[in-house]
Homo-oligomer: A and B are copies of this chain.
Amino acid sequence: MVWEPAFESAFHPRVVAIVGISAKAKLGGPGGSGFLNTYQELGFAGKIYLVNATATEILGYQAYPSVSSIPEPVDLVIITTPARAVPDVLEDCIAANTRNVHLFTAGFEETGEEEGQELGKRVQEIARRGGLRMIGPNCMGLYVPESRIGYLHIPPTKSGPASFIFQSGGHSDWFISHGQDYGIYFNKGISFGNGYVLDSTDFLEYLSADPETKIICMYLEGVREGKRLMKLIRETNPRKPVILWKGGLTAAGSRAAASHTGSLVGQTAIWQALFAQTGAVPVSSLEEMAETTMSFLCLKPSRGKRVAVLGMGGGISVYAADACGREGLEVPALSKSTQDKLKEFIPSAGSSTKNPIDCGSVFFDVSLMQREAELAATDPSIDMLIFMPHLNLARKAGPGQLDKLVGYMSDFALKNPYDKPAVIVFHSFINEAWENELSAKLRIELSRKGVAVYSSLAGAARSLFRLYEYHRIQKELAGHVI
């Protein structure tokens, strides 16, 4: 589709109409009154019109019988009527010369029933004929903190550098609510469901050009224009990392996707080719999406993939090395001279100075931890660092000691004095309530300060490897033409 500047008005609307709000609606219900509630709570500064065929007043607002009866041009229409009423509402939007429509309503081809399929075809036909820039159906629509517009659940009003294009409303909701716990705030969020008119490619084109969006997260089940998607990602990715979760890559997932957003998800091999040829960053769950986005926001490129792990406990060290190895990182032995210096203060029995560095007792003296981290960071065989302190030991070390340790590690991560990415893992070693609570609290606090911090070593290793791969592949692709 040709991009028109008018589309901007959907993301920054001054006048919004909500269609399908019942005369007896309570504020904050599951449909139209939910959107009204969110807009109010977020402090939307524009004008809101409610549309209802028979009522004259709803929730203190004057009600209008149709979009075309609204006395001024409408920037964005949110449709929440039952599915069978949608064709008439769309005709009304066309008559009103309104272009931006968010069709929240579900119940089309994703039902698998003939009636829904027929209705879906009619809706598509009307929307295309009328030139509507329709988002949906079966989706949550637009979240733009700066514009104070959002989904049914009240999202944060704080804006950030990440934007997302998600086919699933539930996933969008999760990402908005929990992104904060990973230090992620959004510039624009798009939930587009069945994508009758505007598809992921259209939104990607928009965000690719959007100066406020620095990184793009996508959850897709299917796509109409595969080649265009590939071209857009390849074009965007070097400037703005594109993190892509493709749902329905397994046979079972593919069938589930058809029931969810009516998507024909295509063959696994085609998607694998897309990842290979664009360097899009692959993830496969919401947690991975959040952890990977956090990593890209917090960390600079690393020169290589050789990691030093500063952890503790013999069995844990073997596990740590295996976990990093499985995710693609290397865990090389530290150089002889680094090991010799470490041996000056790490007892050799029951611990290790090779890598992972098994450094239990240093948690009782943060200055030892500092020497250790600096030795590992200045070793030329190391490209990145993972701190994995045992919270239980750090706590046992006495009051104030934990704060000192956490302070040291986050300073190191933020200042990155040796130009080598450094991250923290607060894993729940002993799985007791205080530890789970403390590690969750620390993760949220530190990630909001810009420190990349993870709940598992596997997650940290995976994210670090993806960051490394992203930059490696971009360099490789830079020399080629598609």
Q: What 0/1 readout, one digit per residue, does chain A (134-166) give for beta carbons within 8 Å of chain B?
A: 000010000000000000000000000000001
Indicate if the CB atoms of A248 and B322 lie closer than 8 Å: yes
Indicate if the CB atoms of A350 and B174 lie closer than 8 Å: no
Chain B residues, Cβ within 8 Å of A169:
314-315
* Shortest Cβ distance from residue A178 to the other chain B in the assembled complex, whole angstroms: 6
| Cα distance A171–B430 in the bound complex, in angstroms | 11
Cβ contact of A259, chosen from B316, B332, B354, B433, cutoff 8 A: B354
| Cα distance A350–B436 in the bound complex, in angstroms | 35
> How many A residues, CB 8 Å from partner?
72
Copies in the complex: 2
Residue of B nearest to A322 (CB): B253
Indicate if the CB atoms of A315 and B253 lie closer than 8 Å: no
Indicate if the CB atoms of B170 and A316 lie closer than 8 Å: yes
Residue of B nearest to A343 (CB): B113
Chain B residues, Cβ within 8 Å of A314:
110, 168-170, 259-261
The verdict on A317 contacting chain B, using a C-beta distance below 8 Å, is yes
Chain B residues, Cβ within 8 Å of A355:
252, 256
| A355-378 at interface with B (beta carbon < 8 Å) | 355-356, 358
Indicate if the CB atoms of B252 and A330 lie closer than 8 Å: yes
Residue of B nearest to A306 (CB): B252
Indicate if the CB atoms of B247 and A325 lie closer than 8 Å: no
The verdict on A29 contacting chain B, using a C-beta distance below 8 Å, is no
Extra contacts besides A250-B325, A433-B437 (20): CB < 8 Å: A110-B314, A110-B350, A113-B348, A169-B314, A171-B315, A247-B315, A250-B321, A250-B322, A250-B324, A252-B321, A252-B322, A252-B325, A252-B331, A253-B319, A253-B322, A256-B317, A259-B352, A260-B358, A286-B319, A433-B440
Chain A residues near B (Cβ < 8 Å): 83, 106-107, 110-113, 116, 138, 166-171, 174, 177-178, 181, 219, 221, 247-257, 259-261, 284-286, 313-326, 329-333, 348-350, 352, 354-356, 358, 429-431, 433, 436-437, 440
